[in-house]
Structure 1
Amino acid sequence: MKAEGLVNAFDRQIWDYAGLHNFTIVTQDSDFNDLSILFGFPPKIIWLRTGNLKITAILDVLVRNYSDLEKFEADNELACFEIVLS
């Protein structure tokens, strides 16, 4: 976000930027799933439903799900990949 100048951007601005640049949004915010339902995709969404985690813990979650995330990225029919931890 910082590198792209989007730190203080609204969700819709992030959505549009990600779609334009073929980026996937990794988020803990349900608003991006709502945008996906309203506008379709791209961009794709990786929705982390994990509660508050440190960056290193989020990285660990993503690494543990790497194989499934690769399949998700390759599937043109899927818009949102949810990772749920209780």
Structure 2
Amino acid sequence: MDVNLPYYFSFWEGGKFVHQADLGDTWSDERIWKYARKHNLTVITKDSDFSNRIIMTNPPPKVIHLKIGNIKLNQLYEFLTKHWDEILKLSEKSKLVNVYEDKLYSID
């Protein structure tokens, strides 16, 4: 999970998620990508580099790209709480899920 995303959200707990802060704040995108590939993870990010990269390759990893701009933490939590189950369902069958304020778009 992207270092720029909150560490503590209830739906990111339970051992299913690894935050970049747990790995090292200084990891390069390349190192994160290799780690996620090796461990069959999904990268959750606000960074377009990962979504651009997955378009040219095959999973793992998969990518969830949050394209919702800079919003307050409580707004982000409310938004993701409302849409998280649908985002995960799309991610199960798609290599990339783009999350916008008004729509979800997946690429298989």
Which TM class, normalised by the smaller chain length?
0.7 to 0.9
TM-score when normalising by structure 1: 0.80
What is the CA RMSD across the aligned residues, in angstroms? 1.8
Q: Deviation digits for residues 6-46 of structure 1, max 9, x if unmatched?
A: x1111111111111112211111111011102222111111
Q: Corresponding residue for 1:71?
A: 89
Residue 81, structure 1, aligned to residue 100, structure 2:
no
Q: What number of residue pairs does the alignment pair up?
A: 83
**Percent identity for Structure 1 against Structure 2:** 30
Alignment of 1:38-77 (within 5 A): 38-75=56-93
What is the aligned partner in structure 2 of residue 29 from structure 1? 47
Looking at both structures, which has the greater relative contact order when contacts are Cα pairs under 8 Å and sequence separation is at least 6?
1
The one-letter code matched in structure 2 to 1:73 is: S
Q: TM-score of the superposition, structure 2-length normalised?
A: 0.66
SS of the aligned residue for 1:9 comes to: coil
Q: Residue 64 of structure 2 contacts residue 91 of structure 2 at CA under 8 Å; is this kept in 1?
A: no
Unaligned runs of 5+ in 1: none
For residues 74 and 44 of structure 1, what CA distance do their matches in structure 2 show? 9
Residue in 2 that maps onto 1:2 = 21
Q: Distance in 2 between matches of 1:74 and 1:36?
A: 15
Mapped partners of 2:58, 2:73: distance in 1:
28
Q: Relative to structure 1, is the Cα distance of residues 53 and 42 closer, same or farther in structure 2, using a 3 angstrom cutoff?
A: same
* Distance of 2:75 and 2:38 partners within structure 1: 29
